[in-house]
């Protein structure tokens, strides 16, 4: 059973030593310098994630120079889903040329701290007016059409990023993530 999902306004959960596909270890403290931090729970095998991979890359490329950083975390049970194992993550990131960090949450503790349930599931953090700490400002899906990027009418993640970069409230703080469930270890 997954814990409750983070509430809007919650601080970025801390974590240590998640391994990136480049081999480096990444902690939450190393990500807190971002103007906007987007954490997406992802994996290799989910068709919903596969439909969003190029959009995730395009988002990172278009917002990088504005201090926005997208980080993907794969927490799926690799014993049950070998295609989500670390070596397969390395291959996929290399083949696709991901311009973002792709981290492995082997013990699933980070996914549990976030209360993540799906892949892909997006959490956008930015400083709030009263504190320098990153706070959850948006949670949910990237847009309203996973099947066809040309048919998208709402870009929830882009709307949230634009709002926080402009110092405005996020127009829709939560949407329901559509995708595969996280594959928890038994």
Question: Are the C-beta atoms of residues 53 and 149 closer than 8 Å to each other?
Answer: no
Nearest alpha carbon to residue 20 among 94, 73, 92:
73
> What is the pLDDT confidence band of residue 121, given thresholds at 50, 70 and 90?
very high
- Work out whether strand 68-74 and strand 36-42 pair parallel, antiparallel, or are unpaired: parallel
Quote the CATH superfamily of domain 18-181.
Glutaredoxin (3.40.30.10)
Q: Which tens digit of pLDDT belongs to each residue from 127-182? A: 876 666 899 999 999 999 999 999 999 999 999 999 999 999 999 999 999 999 99
| Average confidence score pLDDT of the chain | 95
């Amino acid at each position: 059973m997954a814990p409750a999902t983070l509430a809007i306004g919650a601080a970025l959960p801390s974590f240590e030593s998640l391994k990136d596909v480049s081999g480096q270890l990444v902690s939450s403290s190393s990500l807190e310098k971002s103007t906007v931090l987007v954490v997406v729970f992802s994996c290799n095998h989910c068709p919903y994630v596969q439909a969003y991979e190029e959009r995730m890359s395009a988002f990172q490329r278009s917002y990088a120079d504005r201090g926005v950083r997208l980080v993907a975390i794969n927490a799926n049970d690799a014993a049950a889903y070998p295609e989500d194992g670390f070596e397969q993550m390395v291959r996929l990131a290399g083949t696709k040329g991901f311009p973002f960090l792709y981290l492995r949450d082997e013990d699933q503790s980070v996914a549990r701290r976030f209360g993540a349930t799906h892949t892909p599931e997006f959490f956008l953090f930015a400083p709030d007016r009263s504190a320098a700490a990153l706070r959850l400002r948006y949670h949910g899906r990237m847009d309203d059409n996973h099947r066809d990027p040309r048919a998208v009418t709402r870009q929830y993640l882009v709307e949230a990023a634009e709002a926080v970069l402009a110092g405005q409230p996020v127009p829709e703080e939560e949407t329901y993530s559509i995708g595969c469930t996280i594959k928890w270890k038994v």
